[in-house]
Chain A
């Protein structure tokens, strides 16, 4: 309660108001990025009034209040219905606007009250609803530091530098306790907490799970990060980095679709897992994924997922899906098997769909397939022959190919245009395989690049999106990536894809960027996303003696570091070497009860000190003489002598 009384001491003088204005400026800065234009205009108006209109009567305040309500109304127009109010974010937004209005009016009145004083903290807390990034974390630390400094500088009534030092030492002192609290304070899982608001569950519907041949929509080489993956050890080899998305069976002329829901799937993934799908135990791999909002339902996992994260499920085609589109960052632990073999228990319906092809659409391909069937009765040889056909067809990879004739897409691609991107390769390969009586399907997802990894960290961008195929052969599905058969890549696409790596400097920049991403990810995963789960994991691993030792010693190290930092900040300034040396002597004198009084010369202090102990007189007089010579005379070369005299004195036992 004592704290609450403090505000009475804050007078509405210019100093207090200036400090308060600085506090508001710092706190409002992130909010300005988020408030809507009418509210921004309102805040601008308030700022102008504060600066230019020194006398503000009641009428001004009433007008400003009305304008404020109008601005709030305009800002929330459209969202302003009962449905909207049930959404947490809209509700918080409304609260922020009302708070801003109240604060503006109070500030315009020129009087400081309790609410004006605590509102920076409130606004700071509210702004956390909207910004949950690493930058906000740093800004938050900055904000807290500035607020602390402003409070100190008000109450200390000293120079800004002095209060800055004090704030710094406060910070240094609190650092280890913050870290310890952060690590050990019980975490509550807010995963599904919606604070009683259900409006946020209204979702944007995805239109995905399809592969379009006529648009480039799927494959815009965008640098947006889709997900970040951290592996327990090293990132697997390049040819293993296929992140499985959706599996497509139905050729709809201009696009491919998944299997209709009505098709009964007799076997679940469990089935396959129990029947020796995993060849070697060593090939299973667990890793952590941070998936950024995609507004789709897929949780991408390395081929082949064997374990679905909590809340998701794996279907018979090993697609991992959530029931709702992803609108917030997902962090999940995933398990995959890199070397797999499954498909023994496949239903006839699925096989039927995997062979479904319309031969009349691609007559040339159908003819070719017929020949293949005759020449290679064995499925495996036929598949190899198929791949050879693709290799010999002299196909080129292009992100901007000439549009295909969609009615004869495979023929057009293989024999005519001979250029396209992964979608076209996959489309043609599956069609040709089916014509050659090989069950085939398209798989879409992401194909990560090993070059986008640092240590055990891998970043996957939108441009890594990919489509490949799976062929059912010898009672199991194998992955075939027909895009690898491309003989060349056209220059334009090459440029588009590897915008950065074309010259050395840019290549290095890319590497630096990757490292920045890596560290950002590390901080994010251990600080921002430090959850109950991670906490338990950390505490569990403390059982390991080596780890516990490292952990505790680093905590102790942090405490020592912060104490040292505080001592450093609060040390008495030592402007030159003479002062530093004398400080050591004074420390000794202080121990024995002698300190320099205000107005006392050192000569007097030394006389006072040595008069009590005759044995010291000679040494002290020597120091006295040398000190005054060094400090006050023209020649300064005698410092060494003074140093020796003082050190000798400090060492000597009387």
Chain B
């Protein structure tokens, strides 16, 4: 499984043509305590870079963008009742949604682990 990142601090873990998407540990640290999350409906499709979810901390609201184009095939139904999972385990239990990739060539626009580490250093 390969992990990619966006400059807007989403991660994407790729398994075949299914991408598990969430926000990075760096992003949750910047946001602080998450108190609300709004996830898209399963079956909805997004273009790469479109607003797909909303995450709100005590202080502020942030958009979460679809890192790749595709259809939402699953959402993390545990999140709305327990948004603190995003702080506790952002790249594990705090995942947002699974997207079926529409176009694998879009992955070339994303950062790899080293590129993301350099961005947030």
Q: Do A and B bind each other?
A: no
A-side interface residues toward B, CB under 8 Å?
none
